[in-house]
Amino acid sequence: MSDSSIPEPPYDRVWNFSAGPSALPVSVLEQVQRDLFNYKGHGMSVMEMSHRSKVYGQIIGNAEATLRRVLKIPDNYSVLFLQGGGTGEFAAAYLNLFASKAVREKQRKLGRQLNCDYLVTGSWSKGGLKEVQRLGGQPNVVVNGVTSAENGEIKYTGLPPVSKWNLGKPEETAFVYYCENETIHGVETPSDFVVDAVDPSVPVICDMSSNMLSRPVDVSRFGAIVAGAQKNMGPAGVTIVIVRKDLLERDDDPEAIRNLPSVLDWCYFDAAGSMPHTPPTFAIYVCGLVFEW
Ligand code: PMP
């Protein structure tokens, strides 16, 4: 006879169409349950384990290796596990790119601050744009939704043709930013569409918070891909950044990182295997199980 306090499959689960964290595979939840009191004989759950322990090093290492395999991430890209969610990356993408050697060299040649280009296709890319403005940047708006022919109202229901995009000059542009799947407004902007339109010298930064791992992507076409984990990859609390290594190079200029807090600094995380400080250990472990799944 089963103990009624122990849940059994199919666990009376419901379809979850709510905002925020989404469904996890049942087999992953079952594995988490099995591991909860004693992870592989280590006498504790992953939640209770030191992030400096050998066993946790294997957990985060396996998570990264599996993500690399699943997404076919090239060796010249770093995979970082951070905190701060998709929103943290609105600021981080801008601050890190503007601190990078590539951008600062381009800026020196030009003799002034570069622009960054934003495709605004809904509330999340608008959030990215606003964050840059809040930090004192002057982003260039490449597109801002579509304008209604009837009343001139801006609607986030699609994209104008590339011929109508207001892309900056490549020599004046630090990066182009877009959100591939606008979770609220529903506009999906295929990556090839954007990357094909952008000069290859300009890195393309993509927010994939709500469609990461939903289909294969050619990572090599991006400067960086950023995504909060909670929609497709695991629990809330961990943010994944895949970034081309040359964009992590800096010159020695302390000015470059003056306004870049350590917790948003991609180089700081890259240099320490995503663990310069305590990472969201449990969330990363669950992500690793989802990547295996
Ligand atoms: N970008 C997209 C596409 C999102 O869907 C979300 C959250 N739903 C965010 C950014 C913000 O993410 P967070 O809540 O993790 O800050």
Atom number of ligand 1 nearest to Cα 85: 15
pLDDT per residue as tens digits for the range 184-215? 999 999 888 999 999 999 999 999 999 999 99
Does 30 or 2 have the greater pLDDT score?
Answer: 30
pTM of the model: 0.96
Atom number of ligand 1 nearest to Cα 239: 15
Query: For residue 60, what is the enclosing H or E element?
Result: helix 54-71
Q: What is the pLDDT of residue 97?
A: 97
Assess whether pLDDT exceeds 80 at residue 5: no
Assess whether pLDDT exceeds 90 at residue 7: no
What does the block give as tokens for 172?
């004046």
What mean pLDDT comes out for the span 267-281?
98
Mutate which of 120, 210, 263, 287 to test ligand 1's pocket (most atoms within 8 Å of Cβ)? 210
- Around ligand 1, the residues with Cβ closer than 6 Å are 85-87, 124, 179, 183, 207, 209-210, 228
Using the mean position of ligand 1's atoms as its centre, give its distance from the Cα of residue 67 in Å: 20
Using the mean position of ligand 1's atoms as its centre, give its distance from the Cα of residue 215 in Å: 19
CA atoms within 13 A on the CB side of 191: 19
3-state secondary structure of 96: helix
Q: What is the pLDDT of residue 2?
A: 53
Q: Hey, how many other C-beta atoms are within 10 angstroms of the C-beta on 37?
A: 10
pLDDT per residue as tens digits for the range 208-242? 999 999 999 999 999 999 999 999 999 999 999 99
Model confidence at 251, pLDDT cuts 50, 70, 90, reads confident
What burial class does residue 122 get, using C-beta atoms within 10 Å of its C-beta: 0-12 exposed, 13-18 middle, 19+ buried? buried
Q: What is the pLDDT of residue 6?
A: 76
Neighbouring-strand partners of residue 228: 239
> Which residue type, as a one-letter code, is found at position 50?
S
Catalytic residues: 124, 207, 231
Tokens 């996890």 — which residue? 24
pLDDT per residue as tens digits for the range 103-152? 999 999 999 999 999 999 999 999 999 999 999 999 999 999 998 888 88
Using the mean position of ligand 1's atoms as its centre, give its distance from the Cα of residue 66 in Å: 23
Q: How far apart are CA 212 and CA 208, in angstroms?
A: 5
Model confidence at 4, pLDDT cuts 50, 70, 90, reads low
